[in-house]
Amino acid sequence: MKFVEGESIARKILRDDEYKNALKNLAFECGESIAKIHQADISEFPFLPRKSVSDQINDLYNTYVSFNQHSPVFEYTYLWLKEQSFGEINDSLVHGDFRLGNIIVSQMGLESIIDWELAHIGNPLQDLGWICGNSWRFGNTDKVVGGFGNIEDLLDGYNSISEYKVDTKTVRAWQVFGTFRWGVICLIQASAHLTGSVNSVEKAAIGRRVSETEIDIVDLLFLGGK
Amino acid sequence: MIFDRPSSVELLKAVSFFLDEKIKKEVPPHLAFKLRIVENVLKIVCREIEQGDALSEEVINDLKKLINSDIASLEDLANLIKEQKIDLEDQDLQNILVKLSKNKIAVDNPNYSTYKKLLD
């Protein structure tokens, strides 16, 4: 393990003047970095779970159903996701939570990737959709990539390294997947409070963030949202 | 209601004011962050008390028309979709899902970026 100097707090990176220059090229650098992660030799990670796309979609849906809180938007999303193409690409190492907050940025740009708890083996393009979710734009909703960049730069960076070339339509399917995934994570967090396993106002409050993911999904599916 | 003023919303707003004006500057940073969550929660409750019935009714009325019934619930709408008893491309269905999502976020977080963008 080594010490890497830089900043990981999203709002500081987006707000502070010292990162202004770094932000200009950050989407491209993130694309490159994600592609490099996906080139890792998966035989080195036998301890990581392997998850197919359809298994992940079904797992998320079944988790949502288990809370017995009816969401017509999530029902719709589940059926929609089952019809999508997520890219025919070999299983790779997937970071699983690649976004601002989990990367270290210096004034020079991207320095390191942290928080690998959700890493697994599967369709790696998930990482490209996740960083484009509105939940990780911290209010800068017009900057699709993490609140700082545009999707073309992210994909240019990715496609400059990866043999598999990705298009925006595939990323969009993953974006909806990622938004649904974050919605289900919010349900899980809230349930920890609701079932009494912890008494936490933060976990209670996050239950009311599910509606953020619902409006993001209807915006993406019906209203031309990016 | 048989209760005197302050109303429930007025009471909650008094608590919010107290937390914001008197407590916020007294607490250490890690609790200041939690206090902000607490204040947001109180605001959600206020908005739900003030607007919740009207926002729910709007959605349920549209749903009653869609399924041609005198009674309707979110569970009915969820099941309609789940069992694919309605075309997923149906414009009225999509409109209800949009309205439902807007009306929920109007209580939960009206400052949310996507909601503000859609209002413009």
Token pair of B53 as six digits: 């019935």
Q: Which two tokens stand for residue A130?
A: 């996740």
Cβ distance B112 to A215 less than 8 Å, yes or no, reads yes
Whether the CB-CB separation of A209 and A68 falls below 8 Å is answered with no
* C-alpha to C-alpha distances, A200 to A190, A191, A206, nearest whole angstrom: 9, 11, 10
Measured CA to CA, the distance from residue B17 to residue B33 in angstroms comes to 16
Query: Measured between alpha carbons, how far is residue B109 from residues A4, A209, B8, B15, B102 in Å?
Result: 36, 8, 20, 19, 10
Considering its fold, how many domains does chain A have in total? 1
Please give the model's pTM, rounded to 2 decimal places. Answer: 0.95
Boundaries of domain holding A165: 10-222
Query: What are the structure tokens assigned to A49, written together?
Result: 């779970």
Question: Beta A50-51 vs A120-122: how paired, if at all?
Answer: parallel
Q: Which residues pair with A50 in a beta bridge?
A: A121
Domain-embedded: residue A1: no
Give pLDDT tens digits along chain A (226 positions). 788 999 999 999 999 999 999 999 999 999 999 999 999 999 999 999 999 999 999 999 999 999 999 999 999 999 999 999 999 999 999 999 999 999 999 999 999 999 999 999 999 999 999 999 999 999 999 999 999 999 999 999 999 999 999 999 999 999 999 999 999 999 999 999 999 889 999 999 999 999 999 999 999 999 999 9
Interface with chain A: mutation pick from B30, B96, B98, B114, highest number of A CBs within 10 Å: B114
- A103-106 and A109-113 strand pairing: antiparallel
d(CA A166, CA B49): 47
Task: Give the residue from A216, A69, A129 showing the smallest Cα distance to B97.
Answer: A216
Whether A66 maps to a domain, the answer reads yes
What does the pLDDT look like over B56-70, one tens digit per residue?
999 999 999 999 999
Residue A200 lies in a domain: yes
Residue A140 lies in a domain: yes
CB contact under 8 A, A201 and B37: yes
Residues 1-40 of A with CB under 8 A from B: none
The CATH number for A217's domain is 3.90.1200.10
Question: Between B29-67 and B91-108, two packed helices, what is the crossing angle to 10 degrees?
Answer: 150
What is the spatial distance between Cα A110 and Cα A73, in angstroms, rounded to a whole number? 36
pLDDT in tens, chain B (120 residues): 899 999 999 999 999 999 999 999 999 998 999 999 999 999 999 999 999 999 999 999 999 999 999 999 999 999 999 999 999 999 999 999 999 999 999 999 999 999 999 998
Environment class of residue A89 by beta-carbon count within 10 Å: exposed (0-12), middle (13-18) or buried (19+)? middle
Q: How many interchain CB pairs under 8 A, A with B? A: 92
